[in-house]
Amino acid sequence: MKRITGTHWAKYPTAGEIMGMPGDRSPMRDAIATLASQKVIVLACANSIRASGGRFLPPDQRADRDRVTSFGEEVRANLLPGVEVVPAMIVSLQQARERACRYIYAGG
């Protein structure tokens, strides 16, 4: 899938509205870059990405399984640099806690 830059965030205004951050680019871009430069590991859950269309697509598109699937693929292809996808966050969280790492939830 081709990586989309610039106004990609504005392509899905519902995502910005739901997260309280409308605009034409991800409001987390600078924060993620800063954290990555400080060796902070930022993870994204593949299960959540896969289901994200059901939350962020316009309501009339949420029942279309192909559209939800392609939305998740597009999200994954356009994650900010420094974000790593893990298969299931709950498993990764448990593994991190076993290694004395901390978890901070920054979702909506």
Give pLDDT tens digits for 91-108.
777 787 788 877 666 665
What are the φ/ψ torsions at residue 83 (nearest 5 degrees)? -95, 125
Per-residue pLDDT tens for 74-85? Answer: 888 888 888 889
Q: Which residues pair with 83 in a beta bridge?
A: 42
Nearest to 50 by CA among 15, 87, 17: 87
- What pTM was estimated for this model as a whole? 0.64
Residue 3 has pLDDT above 50, yes or no: no
C-alpha span between 49 and 86 (Å, rounded):
10
Domain ranges of the chain: 8-98
- Could you give the percent of the chain with pLDDT greater than 90? 6
pLDDT of residue 92: 76
Buried/exposed code over 79-96 (b: 16+ C-beta within 10 A; e: otherwise): bbeeeeebeebeebbeeb
